[in-house]
Structure 1
C-alpha cells in the first residue's frame, strides 16, 4: 500500500524546503534571498549572461526570472541590456553593488554546505550524489 511518507518526491521536497529555509536564514543578514544569491552567483560567475540562460540554470520559468530580475534591478544589484538586433535577448551583468554583495555573501554557500554535510563521509556523499543524479535524470525523462 502506498504511503506518502515513503514517497521519494515527498521526502525530497520536504528535505529541500528544510535546507532552503536554513540557508535563507543565513542570507537574511545581507537582505537577500537564496534565489537572489543564486542569481548573483551565476551572473557573477559568467560576468554577463542572457536572461534565458539564467532561467535554465536556476530551473525556473522565464516569467519568474523576469520578476526576479525586476526586483534585483530595482535594488541596484544588476543591470539589463537589450540586444539591439533581438528585442527578446536580454543580457544581465552585476552592478558594483551586486559584485560587492556577491563577494560578501559568497562564502556562506560553501560554509552552509559544509555545515549540513560535515557528518557525512566522502563515500556516502558520493553515493548520495550518484543516487540523486540518477533520480533527477529519471524525473526529467518521465
Structure 2
C-alpha cells in the first residue's frame, strides 16, 4: 500500500472517529455517551435484560459492559436487581429518568443520521447496505 490514507481500516477508522465525535457532542447535553445510548436502546426495546444479554447484543465484552452499566446506574438511568434463582445474575431495569430520555436521545441520534444522509446524498442507501455487509460478514 502506497499511502495509509488508502487503507480501508484507516478510512473506516477516520469515518468512525468523525461520527463518534459528533454523537458525543449531540448526546453530551444529556450526559450520555454513545455506548450508553446503545445500551439504553436495547433496554428500551426490552427491559429486565442481563448484562450478558446486553453485551451480546452490543458485541461488548463483560468487563466493558460492567463499566457501562455502573455508569448508567450512577447516573440514575437504570437499576440492578439480583435474579431470585441465581444471585450472581442481575437484571437491568430502566428508571423513570432512563425511560424519559428516550425521546431526546433518539432525536439527537436522528439528527446525526440526517447529517450523514445529507452529506452522502443519493449515495446513502448504497453506503448503508455496504456498511451492513462489511459489518456482518465473517
TM-score (norm 1): 0.85
Q: 1:2 to 1:56 in 2, by over 3 A?
A: farther
Matches within 5 A, 1:52-91: 52-91=52-91
Deviation >6 Å, runs of 4+: none
Give 1:40's aligned residue: 40
TM-score (norm 2): 0.87
Structure 1 counterpart SS, 2:60 = coil
Question: Offset of 1:129 from its aligned partner?
Answer: 2.3
Contact 2:39 / 2:54 at 8 angstroms: preserved in 1?
Answer: yes
Q: How far apart in 2 are the matches of 1:88 and 1:68?
A: 18
Q: How far apart in 1 are the matches of 2:136 and 2:30?
A: 34
Q: How far apart in 2 are the matches of 1:31 and 1:53?
A: 24
Q: How far apart in 2 are the matches of 1:18 and 1:119?
A: 13
> For each residue in 1:14-64, what CA deviation from the matched residue of structure 2 results, as whole angstroms up to 9, or x when unmatched?
100110101111111112211212211211121222211211222211111
Matches within 5 A, 1:52-131: 52-122=52-122, 124-131=123-130
Q: How far apart in 2 are the matches of 1:77 and 1:56?
A: 20
* Structure 1 residues not aligned, in runs of 5+: none
Give 1:24's aligned residue: 24
RMSD: 1.8
* Structure 2 residues not aligned, in runs of 5+: none
Contact 1:77 / 1:98 at 8 angstroms: preserved in 2?
Answer: yes
